[in-house]
A and B are shown apart, each in its own frame.
Chain A
Amino acid sequence: MPARPRNIIRATVAVLAAAASLLITTPIAAQAEVATCGSRSPNNYHAGFVNPGDPNVEGDYAIISTRYGAVCDTDTSANNFTNQYAMIASNNLAGWAQDGYIRWYGSSIVFFAQQSSGHSLNTKYGTSGLALGSTYFYYNKWDPTCYCMEDIIGRTLYLKSTWNPWSAWVLPFSPQFTGEATYLASDLAGTASAPANYTSISGQDSWTDAWEPYPCGQMQSVNDGSALRVDGKSWRINVTNPCPNFNLYTG
């Protein structure tokens, strides 16, 4: 008996739904981390662009594309993660506000936002997986109406500090746009052909509270994972146009 059109549609929808589900949850075979995690740093490992201290900035944001990053296999705890984020931090890095996306060993990719006054730590996570290739705004915003720092993803407020960064942190603040992993054996999200793109990088003016494109040439690159690993790969940073946009990937 020939398939009825409605059944064909249902079957097509089911196949598409299954494919979409796989897209969200399945690791991409093209990336393969180093299996053995090895040693770790208490500060974790980073690659991207930072300004150690910018007196003109009190908040920041970037658009970051969602990419998959594999993590090493011998640590299956919550400590073994790879992430990408925008952050504004205390000059001594003892406090921070950051948001981006994260995945752990065996997990899908979810939003996260984390804030520390230097004495406290609050973290909120997304409750559903992100689609590969999707892009989101990640804001760390000083809000003069509450004297607080807000972490906003897209248009959704994730965290709102109960403390004032201007009194809790050391000035000037440090804007940072980086990928991070617990182990150098893990990958930063992205591949050469589909890197994690950081675009529309902006700062919140500490005089006017307005958002402005972050000036070119005022950040320095950091890459703790530039050395080739045993698998012949390393963490890579590619500067793109317009400055200060850049891409991160492992390859």
Chain B
Amino acid sequence: MKRITIVAATAAATAATLGVVLSLTPVAPSRVAATPVPLRLAADGSNGVVTYDSEGVTVAPPITTPSVPAPAAATAQSVMDSFRSQQVPAAVVGNQMENGTHTVSQAQVTETMPTSPEVVAGVAYAAWVVTYTGLPAVSYAPAPPPSGLSCTFVGVMNRATGDWTEFFSSCS
């Protein structure tokens, strides 16, 4: 529904009532959906599927694959060794790296907006997912972050190549 439609209808009714002709000032089209878009930062489904909507990443339980993983993806330890050496998690997770609450697990990841050239949108791939929870929010804008937020930082490693395909933070 466009706002201009409402304005035009209202103006027409007013004009008819008053018996005058109005010169309508154009109004920008409505930017508000008839049905509000639901706010969903990360959905944890009952089947163990977690979706990060804003980042376009879905993490599902792993499926068995016979392929040989890249050396960096061989074990949880090798994954964490690689994770610690990456500059983004080193900066964002920082001093929480060793003692912060985190998990490292195998998963099947599907992305709708991949940033890595080795990931195809909509095509699931075997991955390792490192997740840190309870991190503080950091704003890069000229204002503090919204109050009371707790952040989850996620790193995704492609099991086949050992490359990191996603680093993101979701705060709620």
Establish whether residues B168 and A122, one from each chain, have CB atoms under 8 Å apart when the complex forms. Answer: yes
From the candidates A44, A159, A167, name the one contacting B142 in the complex (CB within 8 A): A44
When C-beta atoms are compared, the residue in chain A nearest to B171 turns out to be A121
Establish whether residues A144 and B146, one from each chain, have CB atoms under 8 Å apart when the complex forms. Answer: no
Establish whether residues B88 and A127, one from each chain, have CB atoms under 8 Å apart when the complex forms. Answer: yes
For the complex, what is the distance from the CA of A164 to the CA of B34, rounded to whole Å? 12
Give the residues in chain A near B137, CB-CB below 8 Å: 121
Instruction: State whether the Cβ of A112 lies closer than 8 Å to any Cβ in chain B.
Output: yes
Given contacts A127-B164, A162-B41, A166-B31, contact A121 B56 (CB under 8 A): no
Establish whether residues A147 and B88, one from each chain, have CB atoms under 8 Å apart when the complex forms. Answer: no
Give the residues in chain B near A124, CB-CB below 8 Å: 55, 115, 166-169
Give the residues in chain B near A46, CB-CB below 8 Å: 142
Count of chain B residues near A, Cβ 8 A = 50
Establish whether residues A127 and B36, one from each chain, have CB atoms under 8 Å apart when the complex forms. Answer: no
From the candidates B31, B40, B139, name the one contacting A164 in the complex (CB within 8 A): B31
Instruction: State whether the Cβ of A234 lies closer than 8 Å to any Cβ in chain B.
Output: no
For the complex, what is the distance from the CA of A142 to the CA of B115, rounded to whole Å? 20
Establish whether residues B142 and A110, one from each chain, have CB atoms under 8 Å apart when the complex forms. Answer: no
For the complex, what is the distance from the CA of A112 to the CA of B87, rounded to whole Å? 13
For the complex, what is the distance from the CA of A124 to the CA of B165, rounded to whole Å? 11
Instruction: State whether the Cβ of B145 lies closer than 8 Å to any Cβ in chain A.
Output: yes
Instruction: State whether the Cβ of A196 lies closer than 8 Å to any Cβ in chain B.
Output: no
Given contacts A105-B91, A166-B32, contact A127 B116 (CB under 8 A): yes
Establish whether residues B142 and A43, one from each chain, have CB atoms under 8 Å apart when the complex forms. Answer: yes
When C-beta atoms are compared, the residue in chain A nearest to B138 turns out to be A78
Establish whether residues B141 and A87, one from each chain, have CB atoms under 8 Å apart when the complex forms. Answer: yes
Q: Which A70-124 residues sit within 8 Å CB-CB of chain B?
A: 76-79, 81, 83, 85, 87, 89, 93-94, 96, 98, 102, 104-108, 110-112, 114-124
Establish whether residues B29 and A207, one from each chain, have CB atoms under 8 Å apart when the complex forms. Answer: yes
A interface, CB within 8 angstroms of B: 42-44, 46, 58, 76-79, 81, 83, 85, 87, 89, 93-94, 96, 98, 102, 104-108, 110-112, 114-127, 129, 142, 144, 146-148, 156-167, 176, 178, 180, 206-207
A-B contact pairs, 10 of them (CB 8 A): A93-B142, A94-B146, A96-B143, A98-B141, A106-B91, A124-B166, A158-B113, A162-B53, A164-B31, A206-B28
Q: Give 8 closest A-B pairs by Cβ, nearest first.
A: A166-B31, A104-B91, A121-B171, A107-B87, A122-B54, A124-B168, A157-B113, A93-B143
